[in-house]
Amino acid sequence: MSIAAVERSVDRSVVKPLIAPKIGLEQTSVITTKDLSVYYRELEAIRSVSMTITSKAITALIGPSGCGKSTFLRTLNRMNDTVLGFSINGEVVVDGERIYSSNVDTIALRKKIGMVFQRPNPFPMSIIDNITWALTFHGIRRRDEREAIGVESLKRAGLWDEVCGRLKDPVFALSGGQQQRLCIARAIALQPTILLMDEPTSALDPIATRVVEDLMISLKEDYTVVLVSHNMEQAARVSDQTAFFLMGELVEYSATESMFSNPKNKTTEDYITGRFG
């Protein structure tokens, strides 16, 4: 089924792609770290962090710049592997598998763990190609199948209504917020179970931020979302669990509500009340 055909079928509101891709699986994923320390050469960026990230919930990682929250996030899908001098100590376990053991297939791991970055980083291709491109080398040979998945992903990311008539347009015709949602759609097209989001709204205006936040809340029905946020209001608004990092250490980790209403740690309180950071 071509894109045009998909568009037509949508117009007649019979939404039935040829192969109904399953976006949002029953499966849940659990991430656990045990005494995780991360080094860039001699610099210890993360010190002995042990935490379990709840599945199908949003876990926010907060803390001042340079506290290691982004490093921690990028350690979860091995995106730090390409960084020179990177090494770890301790364990990261995703669904019972130690992801830093030597026999782990990083390709499969990154397919299972989607990632969204600070700035929207679409490829300079058409809107639909941005999503279908990665599917080509993940074994989906048929073009119509890829495009059906692309359409489903756009719908799931709440972007479909805005782009349905112009899927072949270059991606830079989209606004920043739309590009970021496209990047989310691109990630979920691979049917991951975990989504890592590294300050996904930091380059967006308040309205686009709101839309992305609403999307995150709806995504947690299906995905385990780990969100790095610079913005404490955002963490308070969208997350279920919050982890406060400071100088590479996990200071406090608890349910968002209790952390923001009744922080156990004095430093946490100082940070969330805006006394530093």
Partner 1 sequence: MHQLPSKGKGATPSALSRSKMHETLLVGSVPDRVFKFVTATAAVVVLGLVSMIVFQLTTKSWESITRYGLAFITSDMWDPVFHEYGALPFIFGTVASSIIGLLIAVPASLGVAIFLSELAQKRIRRPVTFLVEVLASIPSVIYGLWGVFVLIPLIRSVQPFIQTRLGFLPFFQGPPFGYSLFTAGVILAIMIIPTITSLSRDALNAVPNHQREASLALGATRWETIWNVVLPYNKSGIIGAIMLGLGRALGETMAVTMVIGNQPEISMSIFMPAQTMASLIANEFNEATEAIHLSALIEIGFLLFLVTLTLNIIAKLLMIRVRGKGAHR
Read off the tokens for 109.
Answer: 């791991």
Residues 6+ apart with CB under 8 A from 249: 46, 47, 48, 49, 68
Helices (H) and strands (E) in the chain, counts: 11, 10
Residues of span 114-143 touching partner 1 by CB under 8 A = 114-115, 117, 119, 121-124, 133-134, 137-138
Site string for partner 1, 77-116 (x = CB under 8 A): x-x--x-x----------------------xxxxx--xx-
Which CB sits closer to partner 1, 82 or 262?
82
What Cα–Cα distance (Å) separates residue 17 from each residue in 5, 12, 26, 245? 9, 13, 21, 44
CB of 184 to partner 1, least distance (A): 12
Which CB sits closer to partner 1, 22 or 138?
138
Told to check if 262 binds partner 1 by CB under 8 A, we report: no
Residues of span 180-239 touching partner 1 by CB under 8 A = 183, 186-187, 190
Tally of residues, the chain: 277
Q: Is the dihedral of CA 171, 172, 174, 180 positive or negative?
A: positive
In single-letter form, the type of residue at position 129 comes to: D
Which CB sits closer to partner 1, 15 or 108?
108
CB of 56 to partner 1, least distance (A): 21
CB of 113 to partner 1, least distance (A): 8
Task: With CA atoms as reference, report the closest residue to 185 among 123, 269, 250.
Answer: 123
CB of 121 to partner 1, least distance (A): 4
Residue 23 · residue 188 · CB < 8 Å: yes
Which is it for strands 43-53 and 58-62: parallel, antiparallel or unpaired? unpaired
Q: Which residues bind partner 1 (CB under 8 A)?
A: 77, 79, 82, 84, 107-111, 114-115, 117, 119, 121-124, 133-134, 137-138, 183, 186-187, 190
